[in-house]
């Protein structure tokens, strides 16, 4: 008696290979879409980091302007001339401190933004790699099908 399940059926082999290829391609597309979403989120994080840094910079500049205004008010109230060295020294010190803080914050922001943009680029690369992997797996399945069909 013939066992039909044990025999190689070309239609089943083709259908199985087709489903395997389709599944591989769908998995690759899904992973690429997921990585694209991760990349978009990382790009958004970089933009938020830049905006946050700009707001912090503006706050530091406002604080410096207020401090200089207070110094000028004290100078005027105390009837000191515009060449008063102590007020000028305080103002110069605050400007230097503000500049140092701005430079540190700018460097930190550049590092954070760079890190987010690198993560976005890496996610895009991972998505492309997932598609290449799916393509090569599909090609391997098609070659395997061709080999099995030649044995029938």
Q: Which tokens is 19 given?
A: 């489903």
Are 71 and 87 a contacting pair, CB within 8 Å? yes
pLDDT of 90: 87
The pLDDT of residue 2: 47
Q: How far apart, in whole angstroms, are the C-alpha atoms of residue 15 and residue 135?
A: 18
Reported pTM = 0.71
Residues 99-118: what's their mean pLDDT? 95
Q: What is the pLDDT of residue 12?
A: 86
Split at pLDDT 50, 70, 90, the class of 5 is low
Question: How many angstroms separate the CA atoms of 52 and 135, rounded?
Answer: 42
């Amino acid at each position: 008696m013939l066992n039909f399940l044990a025999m190689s059926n070309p239609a089943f082999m083709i259908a199985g290979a087709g489903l395997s290829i389709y599944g591989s391609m769908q998995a690759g597309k899904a992973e690429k879409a997921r990585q694209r979403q991760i990349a978009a989120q990382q790009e958004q994080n970089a933009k938020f980091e830049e905006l946050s840094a700009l707001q912090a910079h503006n706050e530091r500049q406002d604080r410096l302007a207020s401090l200089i205004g207070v110094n000028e008010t004290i100078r005027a109230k105390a009837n000191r001339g515009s060449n008063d060295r102590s007020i000028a020294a305080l103002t110069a010190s605050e400007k230097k401190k503000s500049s140092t803080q701005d430079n540190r914050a700018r460097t930190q922001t550049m590092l954070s933004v760079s890190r987010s943009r690198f993560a976005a680029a890496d996610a895009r690369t991972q998505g492309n790699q997932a598609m290449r992997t799916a393509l090569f797996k599909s090609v391997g399945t098609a070659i395997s099908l061709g080999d099995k069909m030649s044995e029938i």
